[in-house]
Structure 1
Amino acid sequence: METKIISCTGEKGGCGKTTLNIILATNLFHLYGKKVVLMDMDNPQYSVYKKRKRDLAQIGKMETDAFPVERATIHTLEPLIKKYYGIVDFIIIDFPGNLNEEMVRGLLYVEHIFIPFFLDELEIDSTAVFYKTLRKNFLDNDNRVLRSVNLFFNRYELVKVNKFNAVRKTLARAGMPMMRQVVMERTIYREKYRNTLVPIPLSKENGEQGLKRFMEEVLEISKN
């Protein structure tokens, strides 16, 4: 089995990376039949690992299939990757919300990075700097593992489409092209579908929730 190591990550907290890593893992596992492991490197908070425990407690004795959620540190990440490499389709790593030692060392293993951001001047500036840092130190390296860095809009609002398009064009001119698909602003993502056990209902994927095309673009990019 060919294992892909991916991550939604960003240099600052609050960009939605953890919510999206959970949604990606849960839906790739349940709706796309992919074997997945989600590794939580947000030491010492371990919010994803704690979320799995809460999800299990809420479901109670109900039987459910579940992908593993592992706590990881800079010392245990490599052994964990070796444990799962070749037996799962995706290793998804959730990093801390800042460019600390865990993230820098963990990024050495990641093949495809997806960077969410939204319409905020400081957020855009931070994302651009992070993108350039990744390109210089990881992507433009002959011995690199990293194969792609992908920017995308999170919390996209149709009422601000002109502003989003302007940012997209500005970044493209600066050599920072973005993913075609976006993740819409939906409170339900954070309140209901940020779940490590329950996927987004199939009836919602093509309509109100609109994540299917985004996930399919992630799958498309990860094939390379």
Structure 2
Amino acid sequence: MTIWSYDHMIFKSIYMETKIISCTGEKGGCGKTTLNIILATNLYHLYQKKVVLIDMDNPQYSVYKKRKRDLRQMGPTEMPIFPVERATVETLESLIKRYYATVDFIIVDFPGNLNEEMVRGLLYVEHIFIPFFLDELEIDSTAVFYKTLERNYLQNENRVLRSVNLFFNRYELVKVNKFDTVKKTLAKAGMPMMEQVVMERTVYRERYRNTLIPIPPTKENGELGLKRFMEEVIKISKN
């Protein structure tokens, strides 16, 4: 396998504008890690974006361990891959400096709780995407997390954070009216929702949560329908 040469890239992309993003949430189980992996893999392979995925979930480092398992399962290959790095509160800044201006996206995967890693790590993130599903406790937790980010990051004059974006994960068409009601309620409370949603698909977790293999292009627009979501992430990140 080959990881693209950063020494070579620094020369080629001296004017590259790096965006630091994260799918994250205050509670575990909202799908953030699965979506960070899917975003990284598909932005790299399908959109030809230079990506590094930073795992801040210390000490579990589930994304970093997932990359190792994926490599073992695939075996020897010359397929290009993007880096997956482990980070701590102490090493995150140096990692960001190492990759900044050499990649299009730095994607940070945080723990599933508002601990020191997340609180300090969010100081570097420009665009946050918060997944949640149709559950009363999940909705309440998401609203509180959004307001926490708004109060402590968005309203800070020295902020790096540019946007916080809510979106439905595990969206079900049979419950479209309930989802619409929640969307309108949050909008009235000043919490804007993304246009696109991520559908309820077991295949995301079982087959496409892979740090090496993207979603097949033949599936991207049809059965799986993640392309529009990824394109909205790209569009928001440009701001």
Q: TM-score range by the shorter chain?
A: over 0.9
Match of 2:221?
Answer: 206
Task: Tell me, yes or no, if structure 1 residue 139 matches structure 2 residue 154.
Answer: yes
Match of 1:179?
Answer: 194
CA shift for structure 1 position 177: 1.0
Q: Which runs of 5+ in 2 are unaligned?
A: 1-15
Match of 2:9?
Answer: none
Match of 1:158?
Answer: 173
1:20-39 alignment runs, 5 A limit: 20-39=35-54
Residue identity in the other structure for 1:213 = R
CA shift for structure 1 position 65: 1.0
Task: Tell me, yes or no, if structure 1 residue 92 matches structure 2 residue 107.
Answer: yes
Match of 1:42?
Answer: 57
Deviations 1:138-181 (A, max 9, x none): 00111100000000000000000000000000000111110000
Match of 1:120?
Answer: 135
Secondary structure of 1:5's aligned partner: strand
Question: Partners of 1:94 and 1:137 in 2: how far apart?
Answer: 20
Residue identity in the other structure for 2:86 = R
Secondary structure of 1:116's aligned partner: strand
1:186-205 alignment runs, 5 A limit: 186-205=201-220
Q: What is the aligned residue count?
A: 224
Question: Partners of 1:135 and 1:94 in 2: how far apart?
Answer: 20
Deviations 1:26-52 (A, max 9, x none): 000000000000000000000000000
1:7-18 alignment runs, 5 A limit: 7-18=22-33
CA-atom RMSD in angstroms: 0.4
Match of 2:238?
Answer: 223
Secondary structure of 1:57's aligned partner: helix
CA shift for structure 1 position 74: 0.1
Residue identity in the other structure for 1:91 = I
Q: Percent identity?
A: 84
Question: Partners of 1:41 and 1:176 in 2: how far apart?
Answer: 26
Residue identity in the other structure for 1:47 = S
Deviations 1:166-221 (A, max 9, x none): 00000001111100000000000000000000000000011000000000000000
Residue identity in the other structure for 1:85 = Y
Q: TM-score, normalised by structure 1?
A: 1.00
Q: Which runs of 5+ in 1 are unaligned?
A: none
CA shift for structure 1 position 61: 1.1
Q: TM-score, normalised by structure 2?
A: 0.93
Q: Which runs of 4+ in 1 moved over 4 A?
A: none
CA shift for structure 1 position 135: 0.4
Deviations 1:51-89 (A, max 9, x none): 000000000013211000000000000000000000000
Identify which of 134, 148, 157 aligns with 2:163.
Answer: 148
Residue identity in the other structure for 1:107 = L
Match of 1:110?
Answer: 125
